Amino acid sequence: MCNLYSMRKSRDELIRLFGISKVDDGLSFDLPAIFPDALAPVVTLDHNGARQLSMMRWGFPPPPNGGPRPVTNVRNTRSSFWRNWLNPEFRCLVPATSFCEWTDTRPKVPHWFALDEARPPFAFAGLWRPWTGERKGMSGEHRLYAFLTTDSNELVRPIHAKAMPVMLCDEEAWDSWLTGSMEEALKLQCPLETRDMGIVAKGQVEDRG
């Protein structure tokens, strides 16, 4: 389960890469360590189908009797908990440049994964929802997001065997996730090829890029 990632690109780089038409005020960029319940930039579609960039908080509210922790990762897309949020209007792209997994055995050692040493941006396949309640001491309306996970590939499996995030790395995949049918979108819930990514740092939590 991924509970830490980074997004080290600027506003202009994200606008250019993802073809953003509208950017909300108050966005933060160049984020070296994004943890659950933090705010981070997310790409959604407006009512005209144009891409917009806004800040959302990481983690859906937990299910009944699910404990207090927000739900950050989506694995079982057949669950009724996620069914309504898989429709196109609630799909989103979560820009990232790397993500962190800890070894399953102790001592737990953090490993940072990225496309390559230069850490070009990619996107997690995400879902978002509006929600009213209290988060981080703030009551009111919130926009929350989580992202899909899938089976670990051969690179991630020795570190974290259970799962890895769904990484979307090109315009075709981004468009399919945001606008495709349910069947088309869920075909993207698969691990990135091992040859297309690498371990870029390990041994400390802080992102070294």
Give 121-135 pLDDT, tens digit per residue.
999 999 999 999 888
Q: If the chain, 209 residues long, is cut into consecutive pieces of 10 residues, what is the mean pLDDT of each piece?
A: 92 95 88 95 96 96 82 93 93 98 90 96 98 83 96 96 96 98 97 97 70
140 three-class SS:
strand
Contact 5, 98 (CB under 8 A): yes
Name the CATH architecture for the domain at 5-202.
Alpha-Beta Complex (3.90)
95 three-class SS:
strand
Contact 201, 111 (CB under 8 A): yes
Query: What are the structural domain ranges in the chain?
Result: 5-202
Q: Which residue has the tokens 């659950």?
A: 36
Q: What is the pLDDT of residue 167?
A: 98
Q: What is the pLDDT of residue 138?
A: 77
Give 182-199 pLDDT, tens digit per residue.
999 999 999 999 999 999
- Output the six-digit token pair for 64: 């009944």
Contact 78, 141 (CB under 8 A): no
Contact 80, 91 (CB under 8 A): no
